[in-house]
Structure 1
Amino acid sequence: MQSTGRDEYHTLLLGLESHSRIPDLSSDVIEEFLAHKPVAARWWTRLIAWESRLLWILSGASIVVSVFNYMLSFATLMFTGHLGALELAGASVASVGIQGLAYGIMLGMASAVQTVCGQAYGAKKYSSMGIICQRAIVLHLGAAILLSFLYWFSGSALKAMGQSEKIAEQGQIFARGIILQLYAFAISCPMQRFLQAQNIVNPLAFMSVGVFLLHILLTWLVVDVLDYGLIGAALTLSLSWWVLVILNALYIVFSPKCKETWCGFSIQAFQGIWPYFKLTVSSAVMLCLEIWYSQGLVLISGLLSNPTIALDSISICMNYLNWDMQFMLGLAAAASVRVSNELGAAHPSVAKFSVWVVNGTSILISILFSAVVLIFRVGLSKAFTSDSEVIAAVSNLTPLLAISVFLNGIQPILSGVAIGSGWQAVVAYVNLATYYIIGLPIGCVLGFKTSLGVAGIWWGMIIGVLLQTVTLIILTARTNWNAEVQNAIKRLQNSANEETSALDLTNTA
């Protein structure tokens, strides 16, 4: 250690010994402490407080961003629910079967930005981050062009999935109205991950809240006052997302906080794209398998007897589960940034410590959320519908919803750790086995071959998530964090070599 680092280290020891608050020290000092000195039990609370402070600085705003971005679609469905049960079923099935497909692909691809940009920021390789963001936007827009065909012909796709003609017709109206939102999402996902990797989260939170409030006003005006119905609600959702994209882009281009990481548009974004594409694919597969699992179970519920009631009830519960998921995804994003930053900075002990702190925090929060679900089981359904049959069906599903909410306190956080560490390919195999080989068949058997119906389908989801969570706990517990640091160094070296090669080609041309 240099003399300054040694002084900080002694300051830390004195702070711990005197039971005072840990000073605002660097991760280098905490890494030295955790790695080379046995930590006494009386010191753990202070170390946890240090990590929790960093975690909540990131996750507080990240949760706001995740929740309010999701609430744009959530609020739209609430307005459509009061248009009628058929409109709600159509919008819900389009949101799940069509928008959910794109949502999984875009978020999955964007997780590669979290991995590479997060580790690059930790290693202080700032100049490469803007190129990575631009490269991601190029790939996202390519995916959006392909997905546009699915959106436009969504009616046929929904019928092929077994939905009734009336529900599929309403779903197609909604899906065509949100095609523009698809392109906005393709640009916004990489930009938000780019900013989060630099610990720039508060501006994102203010933008998300402001756009959400504007969205509520516009949707009320378009749907309730002007009476433009389902297509009006969908187009308003698209408009709100484009407002968010414009605000994100203006901040990146003009904010002094991004002057080292954003150096303008570069041709390098189109060069050396194949190696990054491979990480993007594994990232997309990992998250798609997670997101499509719950979305697929909603679609399957439309094949039960009385599909409108089944779809409405499970869609309402899934919307609340997704709301909880967005909260946990905010924590997961913070965990991903903390882990990737510390691995990039060669701090394996701090990365490991951060993993356990964020998991403990999320479990406590999930216990609270599960209790809220059970206490307000009737009120949750009335926010969406006044239909007594749907309200009764939702109330019957809330105990299963509470179990899922608790599991959400662990699973997304471990997925965030996997993204920060670059384990996407391994987790993709885990998801395939636990969700689709085990959980989905069990849900279908319980839903269609027993009297459980929608509850049986949900039990299948719970079993799959439980098995996946247990597997990720084992993987995380057995991780060699020193080896993960070496993997991060190799990944950044490969990225730097690609950019150097691309720059040489440009200069030669």
Structure 2
Amino acid sequence: MEKKELKPVYPFSTTPNHVEEFEFDGKNTQKVEGKEECVKEVKRLIWLAGPLITVGFLQYSLQMISVIFVGHLGELSLSSASMATSFAGVTGFILILGMGSALDTFCGQAYGAKQYHMLGVHMQRAIYNLENKGAALANAVSYWTNVLMLALYIKFSSACKHTWTGLSKDALNDSLNFLKLAIPSAFMISLEYWPYEILVIMSGFLPNPKLETSMMSISFDTCCLVFRIPYGLGSAVSTRVSNELGAGNPQVASLAARVVLFMTLTVGILVAVTLLLARGVWGYLYSNEEELVTYLGAIMPVLVVSNFMNGIQAVLSGVARGCGWQKIGAFVNLGAYYLVGLPSAIVLTFVFHIGGKGFWMGITCGSSLQAFLLLMVTLRTNWEQEANKARARVFSAYIPVAGTKTMHDLSAGHVQPEETQALKYHIIAQQLKESFP
């Protein structure tokens, strides 16, 4: 059959760049150990994570700059803006972000399995299921401009011609299958982010609410800014793992998970040293209040530990999204933050009267437990089995391209050559779903 050349989504890809028939046995155990393969994997991850980290910094800078301007208006303005931002995050932004993270699994595995047209269909399913006032308005306008530019890029860029085939009514079909992963995804992300927002709100109940809320706002803003790096790496490894599992390369997916963890540990140490060196002056970026700057400097060592553990859990969460473990991730986050993290923070702050530092010490306990549990899940993973699950997930939701045929057409021999293999996978996937519900 004639091969259709496609531009790879990233260089050094282990997945063939042409559409061809390949065996679906989930046992592609090609040797991927050794220094050379590790170096190649580092290059793949950097090539993917670099733009994601840059975009993350640029997007978060919208909120960060707004907070900086408001902070120089005074502690009251800063604390009130913090409350408003936290409320918006808890009630809306984080839920949408969580449901959208289901696309990490669906789109990544579909691309690895060469079902390129399904990326656009999955994206449509996600959309269908879905003085300081000036700073908030500027933020909203910037986000909507970002949405418009992304939509235009998808519509007109040649890079998306194989993955975006236009609006399709098929996006309304099989929504239940999408929601089965999207809802756990929303809970996985929300259960992780909500405790931080809750602590910002709870800081208003401390003896000096303006100071404490301002400190929590700057601390949280700093953590979110630093988090862009491991979050970018987590998104990159999510893509790598989902692509390789969808393509039937479980050993490569395993290597990607190990390599990104080493990269995160290295970056985490560098960021920790940088923040410790800058702790005496970092607060001046947000406020001229000497008391607030000094307080933030005293909190910084705890923040550094929190950031380091957050980095580890971020990339492990990326591995989880790539494998489709959102339900497991939701239970891990529920236990880590709501049985350990938040109770510890409340006890340390309101019982032992440690103040805002108690909030961060408690939540760090939660993120540490989260990272440990996700690490245990990752280390115990049967990657060959995950590859089978990925292929079952991809082809159970299979929608053929232009001029679709049915299973009856397959048996009658009325199917075009390029559709035959995908329809065969669909049959196999239905059988596998009985083993991997």
Q: State the TM-score bracket (shorter-chain normalisation).
A: 0.7 to 0.9
Aligned to 1:119: 109
Deviation by residue 1:146-198 (Cα, 9 ceiling, x = unmatched): xxxxxxxxxxxxxxxxxxxxxxxxxxxxxxxxxxxxxxxxxxxxxxxxxxxxx
Asked whether the 8 Å contact 1:268–1:499 carries over to 2, the reply is no
Do residues 459 (structure 1) and 361 (structure 2) align?
yes
Rounded Cα–Cα distance in structure 2 between residues aligned with 1:463 and 1:38: 35
Where in structure 2 are there 5+ consecutive unaligned residues? 1-10, 17-25, 407-437
Rounded Cα–Cα distance in structure 2 between residues aligned with 1:27 and 1:482: 16
Which shifted more, 358-367 or 254-263? 254-263
Asked whether the 8 Å contact 1:324–1:408 carries over to 2, the reply is no
Aligned to 2:153: 251
Among candidates 29, 32, 43, match of residue 35 of structure 1: 29
Secondary structure of the corresponding residue to residue 101 of structure 2: helix
Rounded Cα–Cα distance in structure 2 between residues aligned with 1:312 and 1:392: 12
Equivalent residue runs for 1:101-500 within 5 Å: 101-140=91-130, 229-496=131-398
User: In the TM superposition, what is the alpha-carbon distance from 1:493 to its structure 2 partner?
Assistant: 1.9
Aligned to 2:433: none
Secondary structure of the corresponding residue to residue 35 of structure 1: coil
User: In the TM superposition, what is the alpha-carbon distance from 1:38 to its structure 2 partner?
Assistant: 9.0
Rounded Cα–Cα distance in structure 1 between residues aligned with 2:70 and 2:385: 51
Secondary structure of the corresponding residue to residue 302 of structure 1: helix
Which shifted more, 295-304 or 130-139? 295-304
User: In the TM superposition, what is the alpha-carbon distance from 1:296 to its structure 2 partner?
Assistant: 1.4
Secondary structure of the corresponding residue to residue 240 of structure 1: helix
Number of paired residues?
387
Among candidates 83, 87, 111, match of residue 73 of structure 2: 83
Where in structure 1 are there 5+ consecutive unaligned residues? 1-22, 141-228, 505-509
Aligned to 1:170: none
Change (3 A) 1:265 1:445: same
Do residues 46 (structure 1) and 36 (structure 2) align?
yes
Change (3 A) 1:238 1:38: closer
Rounded Cα–Cα distance in structure 2 between residues aligned with 1:117 and 1:69: 22
Deviation by residue 1:298-335 (Cα, 9 ceiling, x = unmatched): 22222111111001112111111111112211111101
Residue 375 of structure 1 aligns with an amino acid whose one-letter code is: L
Percent identical among aligned pairs is: 37
Rounded Cα–Cα distance in structure 2 between residues aligned with 1:305 and 1:296: 17
TM-score by length of 2: 0.84
Asked whether the 8 Å contact 1:444–1:457 carries over to 2, the reply is yes
Change (3 A) 1:120 1:50: same
User: In the TM superposition, what is the alpha-carbon distance from 1:101 to its structure 2 partner?
Assistant: 3.8
User: In the TM superposition, what is the alpha-carbon distance from 1:85 to its structure 2 partner?
Assistant: 1.3
TM-score by length of 1: 0.73
Deviation by residue 1:438-489 (Cα, 9 ceiling, x = unmatched): 1111110110011311111111101111111111111000000001011101
Asked whether the 8 Å contact 2:238–2:320 carries over to 1, the reply is yes
Rounded Cα–Cα distance in structure 2 between residues aligned with 1:113 and 1:35: 26
Secondary structure of the corresponding residue to residue 385 of structure 1: coil
Residue 410 of structure 1 aligns with an amino acid whose one-letter code is: I
Rounded Cα–Cα distance in structure 1 between residues aligned with 2:230 and 2:30: 33
User: In the TM superposition, what is the alpha-carbon distance from 1:262 to its structure 2 partner?
Assistant: 0.8
Among candidates 52, 56, 65, match of residue 66 of structure 1: 56
User: In the TM superposition, what is the alpha-carbon distance from 1:87 to its structure 2 partner?
Assistant: 1.2
Rounded Cα–Cα distance in structure 1 between residues aligned with 2:155 and 2:376: 42
User: In the TM superposition, what is the alpha-carbon distance from 1:100 to its structure 2 partner?
Assistant: 4.3
Asked whether the 8 Å contact 2:13–2:44 carries over to 1, the reply is no
Change (3 A) 1:254 1:240: same
Do residues 94 (structure 1) and 81 (structure 2) align?
no
Rounded Cα–Cα distance in structure 2 between residues aligned with 1:419 and 1:64: 21
